[in-house]
Every structure is written in C-alpha cells, then in structure tokens.
Amino acid sequence: MNKIIEKFNKIKLNISKIQKLNPVNIVAISKTFPLDHIKPLIDFGHKHFGENKVQEATSKWKSLKLDQPDLKLHMVGGLQTNKAKNAADLFDYIHSLDRQKLADILSDYEKNSAKSLKYFVQVNIGDETQKYGIPSLEVESFVDYCVREKKLNVIGLMVIPPNDNNTKKYFEFTNKLNKTLGLPELSMGMSSDYEEAVKNDSTFVRIGSSIFGNRS
C-alpha cells in the first residue's frame, strides 16, 4: 500500500477512536505538493483537500475539478480581497473569512453567480498580531453581519491556536463559542493537535505533513 494511504488510514483510525457523535472530515492540506504526490489519495477516494494560495491552487486543481466535480477544495490561508473572486470560482469552502470587506466581496460574488460557498469565520484566538482572524470579542457581531446582512452560509468557526502549550484551553473556548452561536461545524486541529481538536468537537481537521510528509 502507498505510504500516503497508510498514513491517512492511521489518522482515520485515531480519529475513529476519539470522535463523538459528529463525523470528522479530514482536509488533506496539499499546499506546495505537486499533483502527482497528491494523486494516490485522490485515487483512493478522498474528496477534501486544502490549499492556501489561489494561484497555486488554480494551476493544480482547476482542470481536475472539472473532471471530478465531487472533489471539495478548501481555502485555508489568509485571503486577500483582490483574489477573493478568483478563490470563490475555484474553492468550495473558505476557512479564513475574517473581515467585513472580504464578506462584502464574497456576498457580491454569490449574488452574481450560481455558486454558494461554505464559510468558516477565522478567529484570532490568541490575539496574535502576526495572524489572520477576527478578535474573539467581535466574533458574534461579525457572524451576524455575514449571515443576516450578507446572506453568507457561515457553518462554523476556524482557529489556529498559539504555540504556547495551551491548545486544549483554546479549543475548549472555541468549541463553547461555536455552540453559543449555534453553528453546526468547527474547523480546528492540524497534524500536531488534531486529536485534542476532535475531543473538543472539531468536525474538520486540517492535516498536511502527517499525510504527505514534510514540505521541502
């Protein structure tokens, strides 16, 4: 069996041992990897993949998605407003909705197209200046703006916790906030912390190096 498939199956098994009632979707983060490196997982039947740059993702996935429309592509990096419409053309999920101007552009895009995307609001859970995301105190009003005024299908929150050994605390807080807002999905957890995320009700985990290996 291909090593990538072996790693993927091991992660699925780990998740199955700790997940609760909600199913957990593995978003295989394929950024920087060429398509031939990713292809075994596509051929295995996996559907959810993540990229963080619009231009790279377009060159890699555009034609493939036309051939396999059931593939689901997730934008997991910070999204610049000048690239938002191109991203919306290609991606199915946006995990980095974090400001009104971006919400405005994406709402206008959906009004003029037949496509409706699914969105996660990115929360800057540790108030880190170098990270994208909306401050946790502003999340409720921003979600309300996106859903009520802009008619965007916000399905959950997304976080990347600070690297300060308090991951559990951040996941617990985000899970509670997500439930308070009544959102059905939750995007938390990467290669190093997905198990803790699943214990705190994450329904989308974003895993790259543990599947595909280290990036060069």
Q: Is position 77 within any domain? A: yes
Ranges of residues in the chain whose predicted pLDDT is under 70: 1, 216
Can you give the residue range of the structural domain that contains 170? Answer: 3-10+25-212
Q: Is position 20 within any domain? A: no
When divided into structural domains, the chain yields a total of 1
CATH of the domain at 106: 3.20.20.10
Q: Is position 19 within any domain? A: no
The tens digit of pLDDT for each residue in 29-41 reads 999 999 999 999 9
Q: Is position 16 within any domain? A: no
Q: What value does the mean pLDDT of the chain take?
A: 95
pLDDT at 170: 96
The tens digit of pLDDT for each residue in 51-93 reads 999 999 999 999 999 999 999 999 999 999 999 999 999 999 9
> What predicted TM-score, i.e. pTM, was given to this entire model?
0.95
Q: Is position 17 within any domain? A: no
Q: What is the DSSP string of 131-165?
A: S-SEEGGGHHHHHHIIIIIT---EEEEEE---SSS
